[in-house]
């Protein structure tokens, strides 16, 4: 990583109230039913959120770019226009029962850096680009981090365009429909570095009473879609020995997933968040069950062991019950170690600002996990109340948001290099 010029003075800070107001303004788009958000990727609400973000970026003097995956780029010029930009961002799409801060804090925290540099009249050597990555959540179109994955060369764009949602609508068609399919070749942009601010989405920072997480690693993820096929029949007149109950087999497999994850305590985790049962009628024995098993660990060997035991165990359960089972890997990435220089910039910023901080392994996946393959990357985390996320009750304090954005500001500006202030 190229050397950095002077870091910003520790008196330099973002405008926490403006950041908070922008978060609340964005939260009005695609509201949930319980105070959070349902702004799923490539919906009209996602399009509205993109338009608001673009309006704000243009008002801050940025020039906008858009690639063929709908990734958005808001560029603030640097003194050296040839220098590779420092990128900073995250995602604006949410879960169906999402919170107001997951992803959004990272995008609007990046915008707040631009707004603050404008206020202070600071010029940086490297340009700075604020980024919104499409479909980080992977909830409507699997896998998660789809567009940052294409940007990093992990997925082909054609494969990404072919991904379908529960109604059979294709990613590429939906991106076109909402009018956010750009012309830029995805991944053609080269980065000097990438920084992402994100809420922790777990309980550690709050429990340890730390304001900042210096994210050194991201745990790995494996998504296996399991399809179990039995036989529909009457729930009343079918004798127990004759039943081929896909729902029961799924329940036994989910019990097995829990056991496997616990066997690798304290770090491994496992569950299924996506579950579909067919025909889902009150008086029909389920003939089919389709569900996605989400397995995670900071240790790749553990992930591989859990995947193997899932397949072996599920196959035995189904064989014993006279049902068939198929497995499809629908997402995953290896554990990530972030760039030491970028992590150092985050840690120096937290120290300079006198904020309590600790090293952290990210439990959730993030766009930075893929971008780390094509550019030096690091993450800043702030606590969230009760560690809760992917729930409309997700909450952070204004102070936590400002502290995280200040560390992001200092790390980004130190890396971009200050020319004058």
Residue 226 contacts residue 373 (beta carbons within 8 Å): no
Contact 112, 123 (CB under 8 A): no
Report the partner that residue 365 touches, choosing among Mn ion, ligand HGY, none (CB closer than 5 to 8 A by kind): ligand HGY
Shortest separation between residue 63's beta carbon and ligand HGY, angstroms: 29
* Residue of 144, 226, 293, 350 that binds ligand HGY (CB under 6 A): 144
Pair of tokens at residue 30 = 């695609």
Q: Please give the angle made by the CA atoms of 295, 388 and 73, to the nearest 5 degrees.
A: 80
* Interacting residue with ligand HGY among 365, 376, 383, 404 (CB under 6 A): 365
Residues 6+ apart with CB under 8 A from 90: 103, 104, 105, 106, 107, 109, 110, 131, 132, 133, 136, 196, 197, 198, 366, 367
Is there a contact between 221 and 296 (Cβ–Cβ < 8 Å)? Answer: yes
Q: Quickly tell me which residue has 């990555």 as its tokens.
A: 133
Q: Which does 144 bind (CB under 5 to 8 A by kind): Mn ion, ligand HGY, none?
A: ligand HGY
136 binds ligand HGY (CB under 6 A): yes
From Mn ion, ligand HGY, none, interface partner of 109 (C-beta below 5 to 8 A by class): none
Helix spans in 34-125 (H): 44-59, 104-120
From the list ligand HGY, Mn ion, none, pick the one residue 307 interacts with, judged by a Cβ distance below 5 to 8 Å according to partner type: none
Regarding 138 and contact with ligand HGY (CB under 6 A), the answer is: yes
Q: Report the residue number, 103 or 127, with the smaller CB distance to Mn ion.
A: 103
Single out the segment in contact with ligand HGY by CB under 6 A; choices: 10-18, 76-84, 119-127, 132-140. Answer: 132-140
Q: How far apart are the first and last CA of the chain?
A: 24
Between 196 and 414, whose beta carbon lies closer to ligand HGY? 196
382 makes contact, choosing from Mn ion, ligand HGY, none, with CB < 5 to 8 Å by partner type, with none
Sketch the per residue contact string, 161 through 200, with ligand HGY: x for CB under 6 A, - otherwise. ----------------------------------------
Beta-bridge partners for 50: none
State the binding partner of 103 from Mn ion, ligand HGY, none, CB within 5 to 8 A by kind.
Answer: Mn ion
Is the CB of 29 or the CB of 364 nearer to ligand HGY?
Answer: 364
268 binds ligand HGY (CB under 6 A): no
The Cα-based distances of 344 to 195, 212, 370 in angstroms read 12, 13, 19
Q: Nearest distance from residue 93's CB to ligand HGY, in Å?
A: 9
DSSP classification of residue 242: G
Omega before 266 cis (within 30°)?
yes
Residue 364 binds to ligand HGY (criterion: CB under 6 A):
yes
**Is residue 30 involved in binding ligand HGY (CB under 6 A)?**
no
Q: Which stretch binds ligand HGY (CB under 6 A): 133-141, 202-210, 226-234, 343-351?
A: 133-141
Between CA 17 and CA 2 the distance in angstroms is 33
How many residues belong to the site for ligand HGY (CB under 6 A)? 6
Q: What is the DSSP string of 12-35?
A: ----HHHHHHHHHHHHTSSB-SSS
How many Cα atoms are found within 13 Å in the side-chain-facing hemisphere of 300? 7
Nearest approach, Cβ of 51 to ligand HGY (angstroms)? Answer: 23
Which two structure tokens, joined as six digits, stand for 321? 């019950």
- Give me the 69-108 binding string for Mn ion, x by CB under 5 A, dash otherwise: ---------------------------------xx-----
Smallest distance from Mn ion to CB 287, Å: 33
Subset of residues 89 to 118 that bind ligand HGY, contact rule: CB under 6 A: none
Cα angle: 119, vertex 92, 33; to 5 degrees: 115
Residue 135 to residue 249: CA distance in whole angstroms:
32
Return residues touching Mn ion (CB under 5 A).
102-103
Instruction: Write out the residues near ligand HGY by the rule CB under 6 A.
Output: 136-138, 144, 364-365
């Amino acid at each position: 990583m190229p050397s950095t010029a002077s870091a910003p003075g520790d008196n330099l800070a973002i405008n926490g109230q403006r950041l908070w107001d922008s978060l609340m303004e964005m939260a009005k788009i695609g509201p949930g039913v319980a105070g959070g958000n349902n702004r799923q990727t490539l919906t009209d609400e996602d399009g509205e959120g993109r338009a608001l973000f673009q309006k704000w970026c243009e008002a801050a003097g940025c020039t906008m770019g858009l690639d063929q995956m709908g990734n958005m780029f808001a560029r603030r010029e640097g003194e050296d226009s040839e220098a590779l930009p420092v990128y900073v961002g995250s995602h604006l799409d949410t879960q169906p029962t999402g919170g107001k801060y997951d992803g959004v804090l990272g995008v609007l925290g990046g915008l707040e850096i631009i707004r603050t540099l404008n206020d202070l009249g600071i010029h940086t050597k490297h340009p700075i680009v604020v980024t919104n990555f499409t479909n980080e959540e992977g909830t409507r179109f699997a896998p998660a981090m789809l567009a940052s994955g294409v940007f990093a060369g992990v997925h082909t764009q054609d494969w990404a365009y072919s991904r379908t949602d529960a109604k059979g609508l294709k990613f590429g068609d939906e991106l076109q429909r909402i009018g956010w399919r750009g012309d830029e070749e995805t991944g053609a942009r080269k980065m000097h570095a990438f920084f992402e601010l994100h809420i922790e989405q777990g309980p550690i920072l709050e429990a340890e009473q730390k304001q900042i997480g210096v994210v050194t690693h991201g745990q790995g993820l494996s998504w296996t879609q399991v399809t179990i096929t039995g036989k529909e029949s009457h729930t009343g007149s079918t004798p127990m020995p004759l039943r081929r109950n896909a729902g029961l087999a799924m329940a036994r497999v989910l019990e097995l997933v829990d056991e496997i994850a616990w066997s690798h305590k304290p770090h491994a985790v496992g569950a299924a968040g996506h579950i579909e049962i067919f025909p889902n009628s009150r008086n029909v024995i389920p003939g089919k069950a389709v569900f996605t098993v989400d397995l995670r660990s900071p240790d790749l060997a553990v992930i591989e062991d859990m995947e193997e035991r899932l397949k072996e165990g599920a196959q035995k359960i189904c064989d014993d019950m006279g049902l068939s089972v198929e497995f499809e890997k629908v997402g995953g990435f290896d554990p990530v170690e972030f760039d030491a220089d970028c992590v150092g910039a985050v840690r120096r910023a937290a120290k300079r600002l006198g904020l309590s901080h600790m090293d952290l392994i990210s439990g959730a996946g993030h766009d930075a996990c893929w971008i780390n393959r094509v550019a030096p990357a690091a993450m800043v985390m702030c606590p969230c109340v009760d560690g809760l996320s992917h729930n409309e009750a997700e909450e952070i304090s204004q102070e936590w948001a400002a502290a995280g954005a200040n560390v992001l500001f200092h790390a980004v500006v130190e890396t971009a290099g200050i020319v004058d202030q």
